[in-house]
Every structure is written in C-alpha cells, then in structure tokens.
Chain A
Amino acid sequence: MSYTFQFRDVFASWAFLMQGLGITLYLSTVTMLLGLAIGVAGASARLYGGLFLRSAVGAYVEVIRNTPLLIQLFIVFFGLPSLGLRLDAMTAALISLTINLGAYSVEIVRAGLQAIPKPQIEAGYSLGLSGFQVFRYIVILPALKLMFPALASQFILLMLATSIASQISVPELFHAASIIQSRTFRDFEVYSVIAVLYLTLALTLRGVFATIYQLAFSQR
C-alpha cells in the first residue's frame, strides 16, 4: 500500500502548535513550583513530624504513586462535580498534576535530606549549633545539590506528562495536535511532528539543567 506523507498541512498550523507548546510549558512550570513546595513540606513532615503526620504523608505518597495520573485527572475533573465542586479543565489539570508531582517530590526531597552524612551533622551539633542552625548551614545547600538532578529529571517527566491533560481538553501541545489532526486528517504526520517537538524540548531542558547545575553547584 502506498502512502504519501504530507507535512505541509501540519507546518501550516505551526503557530497553533506553538500556542499549545506555550500552555505545556506554563502547566509544567506552575506545577513544578507548587509540587516542589508540597515536596518540601511533606518531606519535613516525614522526617521531623509526629506519627500522625508521618503516616498521613506516607499514605498520600503511596496512593498517588500507585494509581494512574489519568485516573487522578478524571477524579478531579469528572468526579468532583458530582460532589458539588465544578472546576474548569485548566484548574483541574493544575491541581491533579500538582498533587501527583507533590508525591514524587516528597520522596526526592526526603532522599536529599537524608543523604547528608550523619558525621557532618554530629560535627555541627558538637560545635554547639542548634538544630535549626545545623539545618540551615550544614544540610540545606548540600541537600539541594543532591536533589537537583532528580528534580530536573522530574521536571522533564512532568513536561511530557502534561500531554495527558489533553484528555480533558486542556489546550496544550498534544491537544493542539489532535485538533490539527481532526482538521487535516494528517494524523501520522502531526503526531510525528509533535514527537520531535517534545523530544527537542526534553533534550533542551536537559542541557539547560545541566548548565545550571554546573554554574550553581561547582566549586571554584
């Protein structure tokens, strides 16, 4: 069976694709910031909180990490209205993605904090530093350096996962592609193009994060 590829129609809608890309980046960035905040709060609760707090955060992490993102999205967007809370697609996506990312961030932050060698913390205490001072001067910067690669990976994964928001009609890149597909019937071409777009974005982000890491965390 012969088949002619027609990419022209896809490139004609380039601006529309770029709009979608913008939404993808917007979703990723906002979710990352909020999700990281949850990660820090959750990790602190897990490490320093009482039994109830630790169990609650533990349960949250386990439930989110053992259920699909798509279902979490459906629960927020389709399920909550039957409880009286109706959200628009963008807000529902932001909330689901944030809750999802938060669970993974808790583990990343926790691992970073726990990786600081105990002997150094002991040295801090032995010099007379208080718990808070030990955290601020001895734990935080090295922990950030340890967490950075994992958080960078997580951001890229998140950026790719925003494509799932297309299923509730959030106008990000994948959804834009679906629209173009329904208009031009160039299905294989349009999805191939966005595959390349996503890949380029992922590789670019990886390079950007690697550069930031070198600049911020390498010693003179």
Chain B
Amino acid sequence: MIRQFGVIDVLFLVSAIRWTVLLTLAAFGGGALIGLLIAVMRVSNVFALRALAICFIQFVQGTPLLVILFVFFFGLPIFGLPVLPWIAATAAFSIYAGAFLGEIWRGALQTIPRTQWEAGSSLGLSFVEQLRWIIIPQAVRIAIPPTVGFLVQLIKNTSLAATIGFVELTREGQMTTASTFQPFTVYITVAFFYFLMCFPLSQWSRTLERKLHVAA
C-alpha cells in the first residue's frame, strides 16, 4: 500500500536515528580500545609490535569499509557466531575505527618531544609509567580535535550498515521509500538528519583546533 510521506514517516526516521547513534557509540568504544593499543604499539621500542600495528593499519586503511563489513558478516558463522547484522556491524566498525583512531592518537603521541620521554626515564619511570603520567596527559589535548572530526566520519559511515540489513537511519530511509514511493523527499530528509548530527560536531572540532593552536 502506498501512502503519503507524512509526519509518521518522519517519526519512524527519527526513531531509527537512535540505532545510528548506538552503533556509532559501540564502534567508537570498541575502536577506542583497539586504537589505544595500536597507538601504543606504534610508538613502542619493540620492532615486532610496531610492524604488527603498521600492518594492521595499512590493511584496514587500504580496504573499503563495505568489504570489511561483508567479510565480517559472512565470516561470522566460521567463528561460530550467529549471523546477526548488529554483531557484524559493531565488529567491522570497531576494527575500522581502531585503525584510524590508532593513527590519530599515534600522531598525537609523537608530537610530544623526545625530551619529555627522556626526562621521565631519567627520573626512573618505566615505559608504561612515562606513557601514563607524562606523555598521554599531554597528548590527549592534542588528540581531541581530530578525534571529534573522526566521529563525524564514523556517523556517516554507519549508513553502510544498511547494506547488511542493520536497521539504522539509512535502512529506515530505504524502507520508507519503498512504502511511500517518494525517494527524493525521503532521502533529503535522511540527509538533513545526518547533517543535524554531523555539522555541530564538525564545527566543534574546528573550534577546538583553533583554541588549541592559540593556546599552544
């Protein structure tokens, strides 16, 4: 049955936003853990760890997100996991976020001059202690603007989860189009909602960066 695109469809779309946000947060959470590990591996003194981290980053950054998504979706049964879109999506996006956040945070860590590390080790602190007390606190400030910027990318990329059937905003948009036959109106509305989520974050990232450069 074809119906007119009305308020009720807008409400359905809005309720789907909740899943976009949840997927983003889950991916960011998983990605943050992986990213932290990767960043630390990248700056460590152990060659094998560095090499492993570099390989991971190269692999994830050199493959389309769609492919990573599909590999996880079709690979789940191999590992005995149920074939559920949300599991595949969360896993794939976490890996994706982990690689990119790892790179961003690695960059922030490397901005801290060698001399800070040396001061720490001269005081007798171990590598991990130097990281925890001296390096990471300083690096966090530098890392915030690009991290917020990446969050925007993540929100936009969750739209791809629609291709494996995860019902977030984009998928909801596809289903609404199927029942209202008004693709232009529907997708413009969907785009508008993404814009509402992303634009403020983009602006905030820019403001943060400006404040940082003035302060530094």
Chains A and B share a contact (CB less than 8 Å) = yes
Residues of A within 8 A of B (CB): 1, 3, 62-63, 65-72, 74-75, 78-83, 156, 160-161, 163-164, 166-167, 174, 187-188, 191-192, 194-195, 198-199, 202-203
B115 CB within 8 Å of chain A:
no
In the docked arrangement, what's the CA distance between A187 and B70, Å?
8
What DSSP secondary structure best describes chain A's contact surface?
helix
**Which residues of B are found within 8 Å of A67, using beta-carbon distances?**
156, 191, 194-195, 198
Of B182, B190, B195, the residue contacting A63 (CB under 8 A) is B195
9 additional A-B residue pairs with CB within 8 Å, beyond A188-B74, A203-B58: A1-B77, A70-B170, A71-B187, A74-B174, A81-B183, A82-B182, A82-B183, A188-B78, A191-B67
Residues of B within 8 A of A (CB): 58-59, 61-68, 70-71, 74-75, 77-78, 80, 152, 156-157, 159-160, 162-163, 170, 173-174, 177, 181-185, 187-188, 190-191, 194-195, 198-199, 202
A18 CA to B55 CA, complexed, in Å: 25
Which residues of B sit under 8 angstroms from A75, Cβ to Cβ?
Answer: 183-184, 187-188, 191
Residues on B with C-beta less than 8 A from A156 are: 62
Complex-state Cα separation, A202 to B59, whole angstroms: 10
A194 and B67 form a contact (CB under 8 A): yes
C-alpha gap A156/B66 in the complex (Å): 15
- Once the chains bind, are B198 and A66 in contact (CB under 8 Å)? yes
Residues A66 and B202 in contact in the complex (CB < 8 Å), given A163-B64, A194-B67, A199-B62: yes
B194–A161 touching, CB < 8 Å: no
Taking CB atoms, residues of chain A closer than 8 Å to B188 are 75, 79
Contact yes or no, A191 B58, CB < 8 A: no
